[in-house]
Amino acid sequence: MIFVLDASVAIAAASRLRAADACYVWAAQRHGLSLCTLDGEILLRSVGIRVYAP
């Protein structure tokens, strides 16, 4: 669990995302998945993954 928190904090700091949003981005990065969201901050600030709006 500590690894998840450390990785999420790093993503949050680098992309200026909120903690919960950084966890979603981390999970998508970790598993090589794209992320589909309506959240404008994730759409604009995510780094290293493909993010789509439905």
Instruction: Count Cα atoms within 13 angstroms, Cβ side, for 2.
Output: 0
Domain count for the chain, please give it: 1
2-30 average pLDDT score:
84
For the chain, the average pLDDT equals 88
Proportion of the chain above pLDDT 70, given as a percent: 91
16-42 average pLDDT score:
92
Long-range contact set of residues 5-11: C-beta below 8 Å, sequence gap at least 24: 11/47
| Predicted local confidence at residue 33, as pLDDT | 96
- For residue 20, what are the domain limits? 2-52
Confidence of residue 8 (pLDDT cuts 50, 70, 90): confident
Per-residue pLDDT for 4 more than 90? no
